[in-house]
Structure formats: structure tokens, C-alpha cells
Structure 1
């Protein structure tokens, strides 16, 4: 479970990175509930034992997937906000411009966080 600062995170080994990359691709394309750990392990080229050794649960894979997407989005957004300067209206427009560019580059299935919330509405989920 997470802490007041946020969900527990793990250190990613090379195998864990492969799992996370496969899971992220599959979760975004098919949805979290539609993707099982067997498929994630197969796509990542690891055994289920390795997957569970690294993450402990599918729930932790979801946490890592969403945290990684959040970090990627924030890193992508930062230059847009920097270029917009301090004026609030320009900063708001920069978010929309970044969102358009993100969707063009990364796919148009919507926000991973919003999609996850639609599938996992339990507020206790990390």
C-alpha cells in the first residue's frame, strides 16, 4: 500500500523494465482488467515467477505503469510551460498544446490515468 506521499514504488531491474514496458503497452491498448499477468510475462519474455518476484502483484505493476506515465507526461509538459512564461492564460493554453502533441505522438486512446480510474474506481487502490 502507499504512503501519505504516494504509492510504494519499486526499483526497476532490466527484467522489471521489460515487464513494465509490455504492461504499459498492453494496458493502454486493451485496458487494465483485460490484461492478465500471463500475457504480460509472455510479452516481456519473463516467467510469471520473475514478474511476481519483481512486482509482487498485478496491482503494483499498475502503480508503476501509472507513475511512469505521469513522470513521462510531466517531463513532456515542462518545456511547454517554460515556453509559455508566467501568464496564467498562456500556461493553460500550453497544457492544451502539449496534450495535442502528446496524443499525436503517443496515441489517442485518452489519458492513462483517466482510463485507469474508469476501470478501478476503488479509492483505496494505490
Structure 2
């Protein structure tokens, strides 16, 4: 004689006498909720990092443009020094060379304004929030 239990009745039989399996299910649910919360935090941090990385890319491009300007001026000065040493046209060199301090003063002012804007932007505050989120967890 064999005892057959229907499939619909088997889970009820198994769980009715087992308090341990109920706790096991609650632990699994708690673990799933914790994983979901961690996943949400990771997604939040990823979005923040992506947003800030585009800002950093923009700033790097700006710095690259400034470097290219300075490098171009250095090459111009080197070329003009070659002209002066060959005594071809010293007045032209003097005229071009005398305009450089004014150009660099303008560049200095623009860079100072750029730094001030960076210090006051939401992006700077965003990096501080991101640092807080990293250290908090």
C-alpha cells in the first residue's frame, strides 16, 4: 500500500508543520529587498558618475583648448625670435611681441572667471554629495 499525496496538497503539508521554512522564506525576502536597495544605490551612483564624467570631459576639452592656444603662442614666439636673429624685420617682432602681455592678461582673467564658475556650480556640490553617498554605505 502506497501513500499518494496530490501536488496541490503537498506544499500545505510541508509548510504547516515547519516554522523554520517560514523563517527561511522571510530571510530570502529580506535578502532580496537588500539586494534591490543596493542595486538602486548603485544605479543612483552610476547616474551621478555619468553626469559628472560628462562635465569633467567638457572641462578637459576647455583646458586642452587653452593649452593649444599657449602652445601656439610659444611656437609663434620661437618663429619670431628666428626672424629677429636674422635681422629681417625687428619692428614686426616687437609689435607682435608687445601684444602678448595684453593677450595673456585677458587669458588670465578668463581662466580666473572659469575657476570661479567651477567653484560655484551644482557640479561641485554634486561631487560632495557623491562622496557622502560613498562613505555613508
- TM-score category of the 2 structures, normalised to the smaller one: under 0.3
* Structure with the larger RCO, 1 or 2 (CA within 8 Å, 6+ apart): 1
Give TM-score scaled by structure 2 length: 0.24
More helix by share: 2
